[in-house]
Structure 1
Amino acid sequence: MRFMTAALAATLAVAAHAAATDPHQWLEDVTGDKALAWVRQQNAKYLPELEAVPGFAAWRERAEAQLTDPRRIAMPSGAGGGSVTATQVHNFWRDKANVRGLWRVTSRAAYDAGKPEWTTLLDMDALAKAEGANWQFGGAECLPAPATRCLVGLSDGGKDAETVREFDLATRQFVPASAGGFVSPEAKQTAAWIDENTLLIASDFGPGSLTTSGYARTVKRWTRGTPLAAATPLLTIAEGEMGVWPAAWGSGANRRVAVSQRTGFWTGKMLHLMADGSLVAGPLPDDADVQFIAATGGTPRAYALLRTDWRQFKAGSLVAYPVPTTGAMPAESVALVYAPSGNQAIAGVDATDAAVYISLLADVAARLKRLTPGNEGWGQADVALPANSAVTLAGSSDGDDSVFFTVAGFTDPNRLMLAKSGAAPATIASNPAFFDGGNFTVSQRFAISKDGTRVPYFIVRPRDAKGPLKTLLWSYGGFEIPLTPAYAGPDVQFWLEDGNQYVVANIRGGGEYGPSWHQSALLENRQRSYDDLHAVAKALKREKLASKIAVHGRSNGGLMAAVAYTQRPDLYDAAMVGVPLADMQRYHLLLAGASWMAEYGNPDDPKQWAYIRQYSPYQNIRKDVKYPRVFFYTSTKDDRVHPAHARKMAARMQEQGHPIYYYENIDGGHAGVANLKESAYRSALMLAYLNRELGK
């Protein structure tokens, strides 16, 4: 290179400085002998200390009993969008006897009656034993009936990367490549059926085939009976874009196949596969979020949520456009389906051949609407809900216009409900109550953030409690994901039963109030999320509701928890930092990190690093500051958020003499656990930590 721009020189200087000042960069070698030896040393040092806390064994046993309880709801799952049809329901089930789980199926009639009769399709424990691998079920994508073929993802230890194998539902066997089956080796990959003998597949095709984010650059058309290497390229994107993901919806003449080309986390195009094999872009702006394609009212349409105002449509609206098999899709073809108003935000969307269903949030309270197409636009009707519920759409089916959804609250167990053609919903199944919710109260309050924004938060506390309580504060604040009321898991239940308090903070960066709530905390405004969290914590102490506060979050929430205690060690008395981002100077160089630069910014740009640097936890640990004793937990096989974030935070704090706890699960993927036993163990570790650091 003959000339070097000032921007490039600054970028190289930042990178060189990071390498020179980071003595723990060797911990980024995920499975290196030296790094794994360090991990095992940390586990051996800290886990016995937590396991020795009185109550640990009982918490672990109770948590495992709950998580594996056979009375739990068998949710529609395991077969992607085809988990529910008019004739059958698929389910993926794990319990004490089936640690890795069973993929199974029952008739719709039996399921709707609350008396499913399950037939096992795939026993993951048996498969793992037979093949000597720690297989985890990654889900399946099936052809519409009467076809019997599915593509099954198998993950080693819970990684995002999967092996894909074709499965025959009729024989309940994998179809080997030697018999013409589709088999693709481990990669972060996605495949979609065009028809019974043809796939679109985006995968790792060798050197140069992945983006800087680690996702596929190329989509290929793969014909049965030919090797993957001979598949025909359909689309290749630039290395600096995020990735490509093929998908398919519908059946018969209404089947539609498309490719999502993501230029960044929040931008991209939906490219529709035409009858002649070409790809044609949909008409929406690049930041629209296409949900699915459905033939509601007999016309295949793509349904999308708008993140910004566009044409006559407001940000947060649900819009749709027809998807033909030939010709263009002009902007004029886009029509409004539903526009939220006031404090509303659309949290979820599903559809049948007769109606579209949307779950709404209004100050984080749930509503469910049924929308039907007509000559004068979309008709609207409310679906009746139990009071004070959180709603999650769980599946739908054509033919009988059925939608399944769950309702739950912090102290009310999940109920699975079924609504048909707008009729009053019926309860199909309910989870058992694992604790007496009547002993607790749930309330919503609002804190005032640094810039005057009202920030909602929920408080769950013992009914007769007076005065401040030890508090577990959970939050997330990122990627447009809302936190809604959910039935307390084992760790939260046991914490509440001991007379303590649980708080959920709906900070900016999430999706509680639609796109604007998220966008207000992007990039240079990220600090607003943390200001919101601090405002909630200060309100809890100022109003004498909380004595001591332990903050907890995972992934982006792990970043939040790390920022919380590094910025305000005086405000937080403990912190559980789960599978976190933490070194924000190098996050974009680690695994999928480059795909999140639209959320956080590019640290190689000196102007952007200037604001990222202000909150990046790894760069803000100080030797002369007294921090709470933090609990870091992560997973070696997390191939989304690199385990080095937690490793390096722990190592730097130890280097400076700060006491910590550390746990790294050798398996588990981004969830941090690979099975229900590991989930129960981690719950017990968390309770041990909370009781040890905040006092029994």
Structure 2
Amino acid sequence: MFRNLAAALLLGLTPMFSGMTIAAPITYPATTTVPQSDTSFGTSVEDPYRWLEGDVRTQKPVADWVAAENKVTQSYLATLPGRDAIKVRLTQLFDFERVTVPEVRSGRIFFRRNTGLQNQSVLMVQDGTAAPRVLIDPNLWAKDGATALAEWAPSADGKRIAYAIQDGGSDWRTIKVLDVETGQILADDLDWVKFSKIAWNADNYGFFYSRHPATPKGKDFVSAVYDHNVFFHRVGTPQTADTQIYASTEHRGYYNEAETSPDGRWLVIRSSTGSDDSYEIRVQDLSDPASKLTTLIAKRADDWRFAGNVGGSLYFATNAGAPRYKVVAFDKLTGAPRTIVAEGKDTITGAHILGDRLVVTALKDASTSVRRYSLAGAPQGQVALPGLGTAAGFEATPGTAVSYYSFASYNTPPTLYRYDAATNTSTAFNAPKVAFSPADYVVTQVFATSKDGTKVPIFVTHKKGLDLSKGAPTLMYGYGGFNINVLPNFKVGALAWMEMGGVYAEVTLRGGGEYGAAWHDAGTRLQKQNVFDDFIAAGEYLIKSGTTPGNGLAIQGGSNGGLLVGAVVNQRPDLFAAALPAVGVMDMLRFPLFTEGRTWTDDYGDPADAAQFKNLYGYSPYHNIRAGQDYPAIMVTTADTDDRVVPGHSFKYAAALQAAKIGDKPHLIRIETRAGHGSGKPTSKQIEEIADLWTFIAHWTGLKK
């Protein structure tokens, strides 16, 4: 039924690669320029659109500009055919049950569930074998659906939930506490929380969390923030009574996150700049009232991922002396750890202690494998997975060898499994029923050769039987930064694109962590150009191999990926038919001045350094738009409440694009209201945005509607 309806709605969505007509040039809003130049290391840099860095919520000229730009964008999109059909089909594809990996506390199972088209997922609790019941429904919090449930954590006895509220997509959080039995929201109200875990103590009367001092009124969405410190909150007391547990007073820019071991015995605090995976580690034995925080790792040089404990032995996955990671155990709080699982060819991403076994997840060419070991490190085989994809979960539940994990791929929505480490068996816990057949799609992995000879993996996914004799319009996605892994996963938007007759390609770029520390380092600072070269090489491969025609390639990336898209469009405008840079870092000279931007210098480099300034200025999307070149069609996207990559980056970039002589194809910006960097975005807003984007790139890649 669904597939037949889709065919009716999307009738005629077949590839067409010639005869694309460029409409008359768009009349963009008049954007005021204000003379502004800065001189750094002898170089004068013009910045005529700096006024667009202002907060859209409080500065009327910026708000007026946003309204005018959105009007032009929506007017243009209304001229393109097929948007209504795409939106209808997206609504159908989103309409399936989505359940997160459960957490078990004292027999109670907690998980989030979205029935399909709910704007926000609902927190559920299941008491033993009883039917699940609603615990927290954030859909009741705001009429526009833009207030979300963010982080949450149940106490060890399962009697309370501490949870964070996110409003309008902002990174700021407010933490509250709920009684699980009665559903009563307690009086606890914790503000100025950002990038925090919630870690209950073993006695269940309080939890550790991280917060900043209050930010000056009106500056909470743009100003740089410091002093991210760890506190302990006792339930039933005011926030003013919270105890400060740790503050990195010598490094006010550090982020300090606290977690407790599954058995509640150990407090582990990791301190970093927030943008690179290198940490100082401090621990405390909470079972000993006389114990104090002890520094386990004093030098912030390596990644340390806490894996759990066996009594007094603390297990970590680390890249210290092992670029592709190993698993070690500290038996004492002084001295070197012992190696449990040595570094291998694949990149270890995490480890979990389940009963008397160690479960280790790793990446082989950016696809998950899961291996089993004794607690001493003796190999005990693998956990069988359904295929090429991504497995996540395996969180420990004290006193049992049972855990849960999810598996997903480009053609497979997340399916949840209950895993028994004692018997090495997986049983389905939740398998979504979807409005398409996963078997109708094929996932392959190919390799492009980058400029310096590096092999760059590309996952290529499309509908089986797609005629590629002349290539098909292709959407290529990339990220490439901050040691973040881009792995096979299910995206409703990507599926809709493939269903329309397109190819979806995802590139494993340097700068990520898929092949370990060396792979990440090769895409940072003065080597950032490698990331752009990798992405360009992937695009050239897809064209040369016949996957897509020369005028059929669209590209997409968000945040650091938005920077990627902006940079490669400047460097190779001839290669792409359309580009979708989202919430991107577009001004590489001023990014450290706003919110979390100062922390990104570990990956990007610091514009206050002469050599790094020259490198950043050389690829900064805002500063390197090439007048006289014929640019692809571009739709920039951002949101008015993005307080991670402030929207001024995208505003300035879009204004510069529209002012430059770069051809007659549209160069538009779509600015979402009551939304942020991406997390917490309501389902309804996601559907509207994807429909707009796919309508735009379908037209400009020749996917005829």
Short-chain TM bin:
0.7 to 0.9
Note if 1:278 corresponds to 2:292.
yes
Distance 1:630 1:293 in 2: 43
Q: 2:501 aligns with which of 479, 494, 499?
A: 499
Match of 2:186 in 1: 175
Higher helix proportion (structure 1 or 2): 1
Is 1:104 matched up with 2:124?
Answer: yes
Residue 685 of structure 1: CA displacement?
A: 1.0
Q: Residues 186 and 236 of structure 2 are in contact (CA less than 8 Å); yes or no, is this contact kept in structure 1?
A: no
| Structure 1 residue corresponding to 2:681, chosen from 674, 682, 689 | 674
Corresponding residue for residue 446 of structure 2: 445
Q: Which residue of 2 aligns with 1:7?
A: none
Offset at residue 396 of structure 1 (A): 4.1
Tell me which of 5, 14, 33 is aligned to 2:40: 14
Query: CA shift at 1:521, angstroms?
Result: 1.2
Find the counterpart in structure 1 of residue 693 from structure 2: 686
- 2:53 maps to what in 1? 28
The answer on whether the counterparts of 1:51 and 1:57 sit within 8 Å (CA) in structure 2 is no
Alignment of structure 1 residues 358-373 onto 2, 5 Å: 358-373=360-375
Describe the superposition over 1:453-476 as per-residue Cα deviations: whole angstroms up to 9, x where unpaired. 111112223433223221110111
Aligned to 1:5: none
The match for 1:8 is none
Between stretches 620-629 and 120-129, larger displacement belongs to 120-129
Q: Distance in 2 between matches of 1:103 and 1:497?
A: 32
* Cα distance, 1:672–1:302 mapped onto 2, change above 3 Å: closer
1:199 and 1:412 map into 2 onto residues whose CA distance is 37
- Which segments of 5 or more consecutive residues in structure 1 lack a partner in the other structure? 1-10, 78-82, 111-116, 177-181
Separation (CA, whole Å) in 2 of partners of 1:22 and 1:409: 43
Q: Distance in 2 between matches of 1:134 and 1:495?
A: 26
Residue pairs, 1:645-660, within 5 angstroms: 645-658=649-662, 659-660=666-667
Q: Which amino acid is 1:484 matched to?
A: L
1:245 aligned to which of 251, 257, 275: 257
**Structure 2 residue 200 is the aligned partner of structure 1 residue 193:** yes
Pair 1:45-2:72 in alignment? yes
Q: Hey, what's the Cα distance between the residues in 1 that align with 2:185 and 2:82?
A: 45
Conserved in 2, the CA contact under 8 Å of 1:86 and 1:399?
Answer: no
Question: Which of the numbers 264, 268, 272 marks the counterpart of 1:258?
Answer: 268
Q: Does 1:229 align with 2:230?
A: no
The alignment's C-alpha RMSD in Å is 2.9
Correspondence for 1:64: 91
**Aligned-partner residue type, residue 243 of structure 1:** Y
Q: Does residue 635 of the first structure (1) align with residue 642 of the second (2)?
A: no
Offset, 1:189: 5.8
How far, CA to CA, are the matches of 2:547 and 2:432 in structure 1? Answer: 31
Distance 1:482 1:395 in 2: 19
Whole-Å separation in 2 of the counterparts to 1:217 and 1:672: 21
Which stretch shifts more, 162-171 or 650-659?
650-659
How far apart, CA to CA, are the structure 1 residues paired with 2:54 and 2:237?
37
For residue 258 of structure 1, report the CA deviation from its aligned partner: 2.7
Aligned to 1:594: 598
**Cα distance, 1:503 vs. partner?**
1.1
User: Which amino acid in structure 2 is aligned with residue 590 of structure 1?
Assistant: F
- SS of the residue aligned with 1:425? strand
Q: C-alpha displacement at 1:580, in angstroms?
A: 0.9
Instruction: Check if 1:621 corresponds to 2:625.
Output: yes
**2:22 equivalent in structure 1:** none
How far does residue 167 in structure 1 lie from its aligned partner after superposition? 1.6
Mapped partners of 1:595, 1:61: distance in 2: 41
> What are the superposed Cα offsets for residues 226-245 of structure 1, whole Å, 9 maximum, x if unpaired?
54334444433235533222
CA displacement at 1:446 relative to structure 2 = 1.1
Structure-2 residue corresponding to 1:6:
none
Contact kept, 8 Å, 1:76 with 1:89, in 2: the verdict is: no
Partner of 2:171: 160
470-479 or 223-232, larger mean C-alpha shift: 223-232
> Quick one: distance in 2 between partners of 1:468 and 1:133?
40
CA spacing shift, 1:17–1:243, aligned 2, 3 Å: farther
What SS class does the counterpart of residue 451 from structure 1 fall into?
A: coil
1:247 positional shift: 2.2
SS at match of 1:174: coil
Q: Contact 2:228–2:252 (CA<8 Å) still a contact in 1? A: no
1:150 to 146, 161, 164: 161
In structure 1, the residue matched to 2:390 is: 390
2:318 is equivalent to residue 305 of structure 1: yes
Corresponding residue for 1:402?
402
Number of equivalenced pairs: 647
Instruction: Please state how far the C-alpha of 1:486 moved relative to its aligned partner.
Output: 2.0
Query: Helix, strand or coil for the counterpart of 1:546?
Result: coil
8 Å Cα contact 2:98-2:113 kept in structure 1: no
Distance 2:323 2:330 in 1: 20
**Alignment CA distance shift 1:565-1:394 (3 Å):** farther
1:636, distance to aligned residue in structure 2 (A)? 1.3
How far 1:527 moved relative to its partner? 0.5
Cα 1:341–1:428 shift into 2, 3 Å: same
Three-state SS of the structure 2 residue aligned to 1:518 is helix
* Cα contact 1:476–1:556 (8 A) shared by 2: yes
Per the alignment, do residues 351 and 53 of structure 1 end up closer, same or farther by CA in structure 2, a change over 3 Å counting? farther
User: TM-score, normalized by length of structure 2?
Assistant: 0.85
Listed as ranges, the gaps of 5+ residues in structure 2 are: 1-36
- In the alignment, is residue 580 of structure 1 matched against residue 584 of structure 2? yes
Shift of 1:316: 2.4
Q: Does the 8 A contact of 2:358 with 2:373 survive in 1?
A: yes
Match of 2:14 in 1: none
Question: CA 1:433 to 1:220, structure 2 compared with 1: closer, same or farther past 3 Å?
Answer: closer
Structure 1 residue 582: Cα displacement: 0.9
Cα displacement string for residues 504-535 of structure 1 (whole angstroms, at most 9, x for unaligned residues):
11111112212221111111001101111111
Which of the numbers 528, 541, 549 marks the counterpart of 2:553? 549
Deviation at 1:437, TM superposition (A): 4.0
Q: Alignment partner of 2:618: what SS?
A: coil
Deviation at 1:212, TM superposition (A): 8.5
For the 8 Å contact 2:169–2:675, the answer to whether it is kept is yes
Cα deviation, 1:98-138, whole Å, max 9, x if unaligned, reads 4334211114546xxxxxx2211122222446xx9952111
Q: Deviations over 1:72-107 (max 9, x none)?
A: 242235xxxxx2346232122234674334211114
Residues 1:234 and 1:396: Cα distance change in structure 2 (over 3 Å): closer
Please say if residues 85 and 108 of structure 1, whose CA atoms lie closer than 8 Å, have aligned partners that are also in contact: no
Would the alpha carbon gap of residues 157 and 94 (structure 1) be closer, same or farther in structure 2, given more than 3 Å must change? Answer: farther
On the 8 A contact 2:145/2:682 being kept in 1, the answer is: no
Counterpart check, 1:75 vs 2:100: yes
For 1:517, give the aligned amino acid: W
Q: Does 1:567 align with 2:571?
A: yes
C-alpha distance in 2 between matches for 1:16 and 1:33: 35
Q: d(CA) in 2 for partners of 1:672 and 1:423?
A: 34
| 8 Å Cα contact 1:262-1:269 kept in structure 2 | yes
Tell whether 2:327 aligns with 1:319. Answer: yes
Q: Which residue of 2 is the match for residue 80 of structure 1?
A: none
Say which structure, 1 or 2, has more relative contact order (CA 8 Å, 6+ apart). Answer: 2
Describe the SS at the equivalent of 1:48: helix
Q: Is the Cα contact below 8 Å between 2:268 and 2:283 reproduced in 1?
A: yes
CA contact (8 A) 2:448 2:537 kept: yes
Q: Which residue of 1 aligns with 2:113?
A: 93
Aligned partners of 2:348 and 2:362 also within 8 Å: yes
**Match of 1:469, SS?**
coil
Helix, strand or coil at the partner of 2:156: coil
Deviations 1:19-67 (A, max 9, x none): x721211111122222122112111110232244322122212222322
**Letter paired with 2:191:** P
2:524 pairs with 1:510 = no
2:317–2:351 CA contact under 8 A, matched in 1: no
Residues of 2 paired with 1:100 and 1:484: CA distance?
Answer: 24
The amino acid across from 1:29 in the alignment is G
In structure 2, how many angstroms separate the alpha carbons of the residues matched to 1:233 and 1:85?
Answer: 27
Amino acid at match of 2:476: L
Q: Determine the C-alpha separation between the residues in 1 that align with 2:488 and 2:396.
A: 23
Deviation at 1:169, TM superposition (A): 1.3
Which residue does the alignment assign to 1:119? 133
